[in-house]
């Protein structure tokens, strides 16, 4: 998948992936969704964002952890 709304710039936010060159990190959007915020709530908090930004932020975060081994608690 090609991400057209996620940008990185080493001179902005230390190169952290942000949305459309804005100083709004992908991780911030992901955390808001994890807290139970709706897309409409996120757009109200960050008026410069668009609904597609929220969707792509979640897709980007999903892809970022797809093939990585993460420390998880055992199920048994």
| Annotated domain spans of the chain | 6-63
Residue 61 has pLDDT above 60, yes or no: yes
Q: Which CATH architecture has domain 6-63?
A: Orthogonal Bundle (1.10)
More confident residue, 69 or 14: 14
12: left (phi over 0), alpha (psi -120 to 50) or beta: beta
User: Residue 67: its pLDDT value, please?
Assistant: 72
- Enumerate residues 6+ apart whose C-beta is below 8 A from 32: 41, 42, 45
Question: 4-57: per-residue pLDDT in tens?
Answer: 999 999 999 999 999 999 999 999 999 999 999 999 999 999 999 999 999 999
User: Residue 1: its pLDDT value, please?
Assistant: 78
């Amino acid at each position: 998948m090609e991400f057209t709304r996620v940008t990185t710039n080493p001179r902005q936010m230390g190169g952290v992936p942000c949305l459309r060159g804005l100083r709004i990190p992908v991780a911030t959007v992901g955390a808001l969704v994890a807290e139970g915020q709706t897309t409409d709530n996120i757009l109200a908090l960050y008026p410069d964002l668009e609904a597609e930004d929220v969707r792509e932020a979640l897709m980007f975060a999903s892809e970022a952890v797809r093939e990585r081994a993460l420390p998880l608690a055992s199920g048994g």
